[in-house]
Homo-oligomer: A and B are copies of this chain.
Amino acid sequence: MKQPPAAERVYAHIKHAVLERRYEGGMLLTEGELAEAVGVSRTPVREALLRLEVEGLIKLYPKKGALVLPVSAQEIADVVETRLLVEEHAARKAVPAPAALVEELESLLATMREQAAAGDLAAVSVTDRAFHAAIVRSAGNQILDRLYEQLRDRQLRMGVAVMHAHPDRIAKNIAEHAEILEALQAGDPEAATAAVHRHVSWVRNLAQGDVR
């Protein structure tokens, strides 16, 4: 009945709850509560909390509980800066672009257009992430891969809902992706990094709640 391990279930539960803001920043979770909520004992809960702390989503206070870290301006700035660093590096390294990469990115971009046309905004988000992850992966550095996944997870907490409120942003988003792909195909490292820079920098605006 329970194919996935209990520890995994708890991990996913807490992570989703935190990322979807169901557990708000500043909230103090206790192992007992979580154990009861998911229906397992405290042992796997403990494991999950440990992993989440390393990922920077929560902070464990001994004898007190697990504090859901509120998103700070500092964190937003750090995530954006690190994304820029990693993605620009990957983009520069992806020139000249291998045929397999170009093909994958084209496919993802097409999928994204379909999803946008169908109005499935959540799916667009997922594909968007896959697009960027593909570029990072092409750099062939596993450390950066893992780091990038963490960055994207963290970013989920920083107001993805904004895209829903402004659907016209999606068109611009897709256009920027196309721009990145073009630069990669053209074999122009400067243009590629510049395109990535513009695209990723937009996230920074979320800090001020600005959407343009």
Contact = CB atoms under 8 A, between A and B. Distances in A.
A144 B82 contact: yes
A103 interface: no
A77 B141 CA distance: 8
Given A47-B46, A85-B85, A85-B89, A142 B74 contact: yes
Contacts of A89: 85
A50 interface: yes
Q: Is the interface of A mostly helix, strand, loop or mixed?
A: helix
Q: Which of A62, A75, A144 has the most C-beta atoms of chain B within 10 angstroms of its own C-beta?
A: A144
Nearest to A93: B81
A100 interface: no
A195 to B, nearest CB: 19
A36 to B, nearest CB: 20
Nearest to A82: B143
Interface residues of A, number: 27
Smallest CB-CB A-B distances: 6 pairs: A54-B54, A78-B143, A78-B141, A82-B143, A50-B50, A85-B89
A27 interface: no
A171 interface: no
B143 A79 contact: yes
Specify which of A43, A77, A81, A146 lies most central, judged by the most chain B CB atoms within 10 Å of its CB: A81
Interface string A66-105: 0000000011011101100110010000000000000000
A141 B82 contact: yes
Nearest to A145: B78
A142 B78 contact: yes
A175 interface: no
A46 B51 CA distance: 12
Nearest to A146: B56
Contacts of A146: 56
A74 B146 CA distance: 15
